[in-house]
């Protein structure tokens, strides 16, 4: 890893500078303590809807020697409590996930949330529950959920309390954004609520809901939250694409850990690289196309074993473009890969791609998933901001997409 990376398809030149390539010094960073859980190095896989199911978590874990913490995609509390088959499947864990069963819950009503937490802890053996207060998608915020909730701190307090009570001794953490938009920042309130109501750590995705995934994450806000938080760890989230970014975020903001999202899409080995630099070593070499093909085949087989071949391959389609991003000639196969139905077809489509090609370093920071535009406005329920002191929510939808 010696050539500097570029920000190929990221938003225009805003003075971004690559992070220094200086590995961690012995004792420079402490393990992350989330209640009774020790996470060493202090690195967490971000919950990502449609992505961080059991097979993906297992794949990421395999590169890090079982270290770091891997959170499930968001599970809607009401659908879980009502026993919806799809939700129960997505909430399930792999056989390797003992001692680290980590799940993200979404909901707006304390009844379903508290009950979901109780079932997850008592019957499912869950060891960590994260709460989603960052989802910016229209369907969620227009129902007063996700990133809208911190704008009503009393409501937020009520539902955090319900989950903390339901979870008993299992640690509950919260993840949220900077705010609704630049004129309505809520992250300091959210952190205060979390601290007061018994959350065991805070994670800040340093963008507003209006920004979605556009622009650069505001790491200064992470530093500000860290300064304001006295009793629990603060995790920073946003724009970690290379192992150096993880170290830089911790050095620059003083945060206690980092949360990695889009950087690992089609790049699950990023967790191995991050472990290396926290261990004070140069990161392992980037994979060749041949090694990536092997990882893709492993990923596809894991998804098929978990979901069925039909649904597993349907899931795998979206990963193929991320895995092959930037490789010359790969585009020719992508059309067919995006329609692939069986493992046999998949293997046959990968076969002609040349194994020896080195990793296209310039594509590391290329946009993966989510486009780079903000939303015009954040949809909220009628009158939501006029009575921010209310502690009731408007709706408790059953099925939600993450974000």
Ligand X SMILES: Cc1cc2nc3c(=O)[nH]c(=O)nc-3n(C[C@H](O)[C@H](O)[C@H](O)COP(=O)(O)O)c2cc1C
Q: Which of residues 246-305 bind ligand X (CB under 6 A)?
A: 260-263
Q: Is 129 in the site for ligand X (CB under 6 A)?
A: no
Q: Residue 306 in contact with residue 57, Cβ under 8 Å? A: no
- Strands 102-106 and 74-76 come out as parallel
Q: Is 48 in the site for ligand X (CB under 6 A)?
A: yes
Q: Which of residues 211-240 bind ligand X (CB under 6 A)?
A: 217, 237-240
- Name 294's Cβ contacts closer than 8 Å, sequence gap at least 6: none
Output the smallest distance, CB 26 to ligand X, in A.
Answer: 27
Q: Which of 24, 37, 51, 81 binds ligand X (CB under 6 A)?
A: 51
Measure Cα distances from 388 to 109, 138, 178, 184, 239 in Å: 16, 19, 17, 12, 31
Choose between 88 and 369: whose C-beta lies nearer to ligand X: 369
Query: Closest-CB residue for ligand X?
Result: 402
Choose between 51 and 79: whose C-beta lies nearer to ligand X: 51
Q: Residue 390 in contact with residue 151, Cβ under 8 Å? A: no
Clarify whether 387 is annotated catalytic: no
Q: Residue 299 in contact with residue 307, Cβ under 8 Å? A: no
Encoded one letter per residue, x for contact with ligand X by CB under 6 A and - for no contact, window 343-382 reads --------------------------xx------------
For the chain, the 3-state helix, strand and coil shares in percent, each to the nearest 5, are 40, 15, 50
Which has the closest alpha carbon to 234: 47, 27, 32? 32
Q: Which of 60, 68, 135, 393 is catalytic?
A: 135
Give the range of 46-54, 118-126, 152-160, 385-393 binding ligand X by CB under 6 A.
Answer: 46-54
- Name 76's Cβ contacts closer than 8 Å, sequence gap at least 6: 87, 106, 107, 397, 398, 399, 400
Q: Is 100 in the site for ligand X (CB under 6 A)?
A: no
Output the smallest distance, CB 146 to ligand X, in A.
Answer: 8
Q: How many residues bind ligand X (CB under 6 A)?
A: 27
Q: DSSP string spanning 135-150?
A: ---HHHHTTT-GGGGG
Q: Which of 32, 34, 46, 304 binds ligand X (CB under 6 A)?
A: 46
- 3-class secondary-structure state, position 71: coil
Choose between 47 and 166: whose C-beta lies nearer to ligand X: 47
Q: Is 245 in the site for ligand X (CB under 6 A)?
A: no
Choose between 144 and 350: whose C-beta lies nearer to ligand X: 144
Measure Cα distances from 25 to 28, 277, 307 in Å: 5, 9, 42
Applying CB under 6 A, the residues found at the interface with ligand X are 46-51, 73-74, 104, 132, 134-135, 175, 205, 217, 237-240, 260-263, 369-370, 402-403
Residues marked as catalytic: 135
């Amino acid at each position: 890893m010696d050539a500097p990376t570029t920000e190929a398809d990221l938003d225009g030149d805003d003075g971004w500078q690559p992070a220094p390539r200086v590995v961690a010094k012995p004792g420079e960073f402490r393990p992350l303590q989330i209640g009774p859980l020790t996470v060493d190095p202090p690195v967490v896989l971000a919950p990502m809807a449609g992505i961080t199911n059991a097979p993906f978590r297992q794949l990421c874990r395999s590169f890090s020697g079982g270290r770091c913490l891997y959170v499930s995609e968001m599970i809607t509390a009401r659908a879980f409590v009502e026993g919806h088959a799809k939700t129960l499947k997505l909430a399930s864990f792999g056989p390797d996930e003992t001692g680290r069963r980590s799940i993200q819950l979404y909901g707006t009503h304390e009844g379903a949330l508290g009950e979901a937490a109780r079932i997850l802890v008592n019957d499912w053996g869950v060891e960590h529950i994260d709460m989603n207060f960052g989802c910016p998608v229209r369907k969620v915020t227009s129902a007063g959920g996700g990133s809208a909730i911190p704008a009503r701190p009393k409501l937020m307090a009520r539902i955090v309390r319900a989950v903390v009570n339901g979870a008993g001794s299992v640690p509950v953490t919260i993840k949220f954004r900077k705010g609704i938009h630049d004129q309505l920042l809520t992250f300091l309130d959210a952190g205060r609520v979390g601290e007061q109501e018994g959350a065991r750590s805070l994670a800040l995705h340093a963008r507003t809901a209006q920004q979605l995934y556009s622009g650069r994450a505001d790491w200064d806000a992470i530093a500000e939250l860290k300064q304001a938080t006295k009793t629990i760890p603060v995790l920073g989230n946003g724009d970690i694409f290379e192992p150096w970014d993880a170290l830089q975020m911790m050095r620059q903001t003083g945060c206690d850990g980092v949360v990695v999202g889009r950087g690992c899409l089609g790049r699950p080995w990023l967790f191995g690289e991050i472990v290396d630099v926290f261990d004070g070593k140069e990161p392992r070499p980037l994979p060749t196309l041949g090694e990536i093909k092997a990882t893709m085949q492993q990923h596809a087989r894991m998804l098929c074993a978990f979901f069925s071949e039909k649904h597993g391959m349907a899931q795998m389609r979206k990963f193929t473009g991320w895995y092959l991003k930037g490789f010359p000639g790969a585009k020719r196969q992508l059309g067919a890969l995006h329609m692939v139905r069986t493992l046999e077809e998949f293997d046959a489509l990968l076969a002609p791609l040349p194994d020896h090609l080195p990793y296209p370093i310039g594509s590391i920071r290329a946009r993966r998933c989510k486009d780079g535009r903000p939303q015009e406005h954040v949809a909220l329920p009628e009158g939501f901001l006029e009575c921010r002191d209310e502690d009731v929510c408007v709706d408790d939808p059953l099925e939600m997409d993450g974000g």
